[in-house]
Structure 1
Amino acid sequence: MASTRNNANNAARTVNTRKTANKNVKKTNRKITNRKTTNRKTTNRKTTNRRAGGKTPFSPVDLKKLFPPWGSEDALNQTANKEATDIIQAVYHDINAYCNLERLAKEQAYGCQEMFSNMFVFTEGFVEREISYYMSCMESFKAEHGEFQPVTPNSRFLEFVTGLGWKMFAICSHAEAFRRGIKESSDRTWGFLLQKIQENFLSIELYAHSRALKWRNILCAYQNSPIPGLPDMKPEIETYMKWKVDHPHHTVITLDGKLKEPTYNGKLQQHINESIYEPKKWGGKKQDPTIRHKPNGSPTNVGSDCALCGSPVSCDCRLTSRAGELVELREYPDTGTGVRALTRFQRGDTLDIFMGELLPTSVEEVYPLQQNDDKLGKERYLCTICPHQFGNWTRYISHSCRPSTRFTIRTIGNRVVCTVDALRDILPFEEITVSYGGKYWRSKDYDCLCGHCDGSGTD
């Protein structure tokens, strides 16, 4: 089990760039997005009474609860809960890896077809063994006692299917972490795992659906043969999730357990893989202001040394991050749409690049992309990254006065970008947050609702 969890954590870890950007690049902790983008619920500052005493005090820490005595019931539950969390985060990772490998196999990428075929055989074989072993135990018991008894040595299979259904069993069977967990985990860990899968049922179902996981393929051989003591799988196989997914980040899980699309001014907020530069909005100017070289290849005075390789001129480096594949959009009380981590990120990890439309002028509630210019001795304005209509998952990160990430302007490859960097370790299923900065809140007539301040937006 330890190796599975370590492999999942290592595979899910994003590229960790330099902890400090070049001296010529100005760091920023401000979120470059619009209040409407995050659907933030606000309270009018003029009519709100700030909490007495200013900042919210830290809650007292119960050390006995945080560090229970060794061997106690609380300590055993704490360990089992962590093991279950490691398994379920690895389930997300394994499903994502399986679907990515299937896509590459269809594209006939070198070596991927054989690898995917092997993974499918492992998954199919696991389901076949569980069902066959269950049936053989049933037949043996009936032959010996003359009656049916739904209790078998592989009762975890029975417990899972009767409690969570065939669809969830088929989805989880694609994950090596689950296949090992059902066999190797302790009873205490297994109990916590069932609870966590139940709590994240819609999340796992949507995750598999949005990545086009073909979970029905491993059940089709059994759909016309009812299995004694287990629910009929045919209705689940014939029922399809009525939700069209163009991209995983085009869906938000609401507080009441429903699904909705993220919108701005009534239009879908579309996902993009790279910021958009439209020359028409720049008066016909053809040169992207964030690019480090001119069309003829000669260098510009944009950017500084590459944060990945240190090159003083334009290079081919790109930020290869998988963080976007291991997060989901979820609605939170008070603050609206936010981002929930589905794996563990470590302090210093660069999660992704903030993307949007590159505009020549400032946009309401959106901060500009700037850099320090040593020759001029002042900040140099490059553009404004507007994520209202087009962007990626980073635009949904909500504000907190005690954030888990920050926005940093740095040079990567052939352009200047704004990255999202982890300030501390981010736990699985934790909301990812960032500080919008004091300037943002000083210009607003509503209060910060992060719960860590007096409403001023500063801790």
Structure 2
Amino acid sequence: MVLTNQCNPDGIEFPPASTGRRNGEGCGCYTRCTALSCLNASCSRFCDAHNCTFGGDCGNSLKESPVLQISRNARSGIRGITAFAAIPAGEVVGEYLGHLKLVGPPNEGYMLRLKTRAKGNKYVDIDAQHGGGKLRILNHSCNPCARFHEVQTESELTVVAVTTRDIFPGEEVTVSYGDKLWFICRCGWWGCQHRDLQHLNDFRSSP
């Protein structure tokens, strides 16, 4: 199932976000917003039609980048996301979409635990196993070019992927899953945390 918004069948609610540095009057950006420069981004707020000089048509919105495509990693053979055109640093490339749940193992498989707790001080996971967006197959790298980041406007909270450096055409878009991996990393970076384990079998199945 392909999602275009977070699926919230249980009606999980989050405390409302702050109004930002301009008290809800918008970001005030003079040039196109990015996650590196926008005042909304500095407060972990995403831009939309109501709080952005550019009406949310910017690099800090929830819009998925149009230059992402699904491909196979030549080294591992598993699916991943590749940029077929350049993406500058500080650009939101899309949301990590799935089903919001109150229970589940944190950060394993397609499960991503939110740092912000729901009302009632409850932990929430985004489960993209059986339904999600394109970004659910972002692969791990020990030297990633993007990162996951929680953003919120009003009571709508989500996770986006933000580029941490310029991405070149044909480059795979990767993020870090952290240092507690449930598989052997084969990202190929010289500083890979599993560089001494490459001779071992990896029992993770290709998604």
**TM-score range with shorter-chain normalisation?**
0.5 to 0.7
Residue 282 of structure 1 corresponds to which residue in structure 2? none
Query: Contact (CA 8 Å) 2:142, 2:193: kept in 1 or not?
Result: no
Residue 334 of structure 1 corresponds to which residue in structure 2? 76
Q: Does 1:303 align with 2:14?
A: no
Query: Contact (CA 8 Å) 1:303, 1:410: kept in 2 or not?
Result: no
Alpha-carbon distance in structure 1 between the residues aligned to 2:140 and 2:42? 31
Residue 367 of structure 1 corresponds to which residue in structure 2? 112
Distance 1:414-1:289 versus aligned 2 partners, 3 A rule: closer
Query: Contact (CA 8 Å) 1:335, 1:449: kept in 2 or not?
Result: no
Shift of 1:406: 0.2
The structure having more radius of gyration, on CA atoms, is 1
Residue 174 of structure 2 corresponds to which residue in structure 1? 433
Residue 187 of structure 2 corresponds to which residue in structure 1? 450
State the number of aligned residues: 158
Shift of 1:412: 3.0
Query: Contact (CA 8 Å) 2:69, 2:82: kept in 1 or not?
Result: yes
Distance 1:382-1:456 versus aligned 2 partners, 3 A rule: farther
- The one of 127, 140, 148 aligned to 1:386: 127
Query: Contact (CA 8 Å) 2:62, 2:160: kept in 1 or not?
Result: no
Structure 1 gaps, min length 5: 1-269, 280-286, 291-300, 374-379
Of Structure 1 and Structure 2, the greater strand share is in 2
Distance 1:425-1:309 versus aligned 2 partners, 3 A rule: closer
Alpha-carbon distance in structure 1 between the residues aligned to 2:88 and 2:44? 26
The percentage of aligned residue pairs carrying the same residue is 21
Distance 1:335-1:423 versus aligned 2 partners, 3 A rule: farther
Q: Secondary structure at the match of 2:124?
A: strand
- TM-score, normalising length from structure 2? 0.66
Alpha-carbon distance in structure 2 between the residues aligned to 1:352 and 1:409? 12
The correspondence of residues 248-267 of structure 1 with structure 2, limited to 5 A, is: none
Distance 1:393-1:356 versus aligned 2 partners, 3 A rule: same
The correspondence of residues 218-237 of structure 1 with structure 2, limited to 5 A, is: none
Residue 408 of structure 1 corresponds to which residue in structure 2? 149
Distance 1:328-1:359 versus aligned 2 partners, 3 A rule: same
- The one of 12, 16, 24 aligned to 1:288: 12
Distance 1:310-1:447 versus aligned 2 partners, 3 A rule: closer
The correspondence of residues 40-439 of structure 1 with structure 2, limited to 5 A, is: 270-279=1-10, 287-290=11-14, 301-305=15-19, 307=40, 316=50, 319-323=61-65, 325-332=66-73, 333-334=75-76, 336-363=78-105, 365=108, 366-371=111-116, 381-439=122-180
Alpha-carbon distance in structure 1 between the residues aligned to 2:141 and 2:77? 10
Of Structure 1 and Structure 2, the greater helix share is in 1
Query: Contact (CA 8 Å) 2:117, 2:123: kept in 1 or not?
Result: no
Structure 2 gaps, min length 5: 21-39, 197-207
Q: CA RMSD in A?
A: 3.0
Shift of 1:382: 4.2
